[in-house]
Structure 1
């Protein structure tokens, strides 16, 4: 039953925020009768909500529970004012991400309404080697995680995407040395991003913050300094508020 519930909830992704039970059945491969029954139960508990048109969407209760996740909610709350400052200073979108297994999960995003590129969305999952936040998180992941990741198939999104394990190992070492990560047209050909780490009280990297710039707008050292300052400010804020422990 639990696996069916999880499968149903995963059907509600970006672009599919509202679904009928029949649509969920098609997406999950579960029998329509089972989807109807389970989704009615989830709606009764507030996990899902259903409108007069019989279309379901994720309920506020589920968002409230997710906000208490220690690796996302605490970091997110501490990061928001500093992300706002970084966006105001640079004029570009700012993102916050954590590592979940072998992927970077984007848990917050800020941008001006004029921003032409809405990616990545909050909740988006990206392979670690494709984004600057992912590279930062991979560079500071346990060695066994790095080896598992680099031994697998590395997705290519653009002609510039680095898929060589040897080259990625070199880049990860450089990231640890420099203290920031750069993603140069690895996902799309018109954007570059720079990321810095956010650490807990033991000095371990628990999240990463980045600023995304259109192609031709990046001043690497300036952006690196700005995003590193932001990462350090978030780290210190969490420590002062007792959100990380030594």
Structure 2
């Protein structure tokens, strides 16, 4: 369950990231559907903490540089990023496709790190992006990393399973069989279920009991053409994860 005030802070920050211009508190309230009085109080608190400022009497509010500096300081010492950024860069270079590290956020997949392909036509995403577990290679790999009991409990929380990109429904039993087959193979695949014309392969694993997945994604035709070598690079990168982290 969301904590309302905390959720509203992130809604305001995300709104500025989308609009990228100063906004009055009434406009912010309208776009976020926060009551006017609550929105005004929230914005004043963010001003008092140094995260917003008023660029002019009637110009409204805009984030200060403090948000950038705080985020940069935090991210610079992310223990997993320090390990996985070079691994993902190497995986991107070995395959030519976008590489990512994913984990679970409730019953959805979220990317923690993304190293995009250098090719002009590529799969593009960013950290913090969400997707459904049942239509993505990352989600299947993460589900596979869980115990059977935990996996079924998570899938129960997703039902009814949302439709795939093409509007087709996912059969629960078929999904669980696909996850089991992926565990036997050592990797999981998706072919356009989440994003049309995008395919991905992923390898799931546990860190301190929590599920994570290495992911490679790209244009479906190109990735499937080179799937064998892509999977080889994926599994080789997995072997490079420090043993002290796994488990």
Which range moves more in the overlay, 54-63 or 127-136? 54-63
For these two proteins, the number of residue pairs brought into alignment is 233
The reply to whether residue 233 of structure 1 matches residue 218 of structure 2 is: no
Deviation at 1:160, TM superposition (A): 7.8
- d(CA) in 2 for partners of 1:206 and 1:149? 12
Deviation at 1:148, TM superposition (A): 3.3
- Preserved contact between residue 97 and residue 123 of structure 2 (Cα < 8 Å): no
The reply to whether residue 135 of structure 1 matches residue 150 of structure 2 is: no
User: Structure 1 residues 25 and 108, CA, compared in 2 at 3 Å: closer, same or farther?
Assistant: same
1:1-246 map, 5 Å: 3-13=4-14, 16=18, 18=20, 20=23, 21-46=25-50, 48-50=51-53, 52=55, 53-57=59-63, 59-60=67-68, 63=71, 67=75, 73-117=78-122, 119-151=124-156, 152-159=159-166, 163-200=170-207, 204=209, 206-217=211-222, 218=224, 219-236=226-243, 239=244, 244=245
Instruction: Specify every segment of 5 or more residues in structure 1 that has no aligned partner in the other structure, as ranges.
Output: none
Deviation at 1:198, TM superposition (A): 4.1
TM-score (ref. length: structure 1): 0.80
Q: CA RMSD in A?
A: 2.9
User: Structure 1 residues 232 and 206, CA, compared in 2 at 3 Å: closer, same or farther?
Assistant: farther
Cα offsets for 1:36-83 (capped at 9, x unmatched)? 22122123324x3346253434813652586499xxx32222100011
Secondary structure, in 3 states, of the residue corresponding to 1:12?
A: helix
- d(CA) in 1 for partners of 2:236 and 2:167? 28
Larger Rg: 2
TM-score (ref. length: structure 2): 0.80
Cα offsets for 1:1-57 (capped at 9, x unmatched)? x522322313433862646333331233222232122122123324x3346253434
Higher helix share: 2
Which range moves more in the overlay, 84-93 or 60-69? 60-69
- Preserved contact between residue 104 and residue 212 of structure 2 (Cα < 8 Å): yes
Cα offsets for 1:61-119 (capped at 9, x unmatched)? 652586499xxx32222100011111111111111111111011111111145443454
Instruction: Specify every segment of 5 or more residues in structure 2 that has no aligned partner in the other structure, as ranges.
Output: none
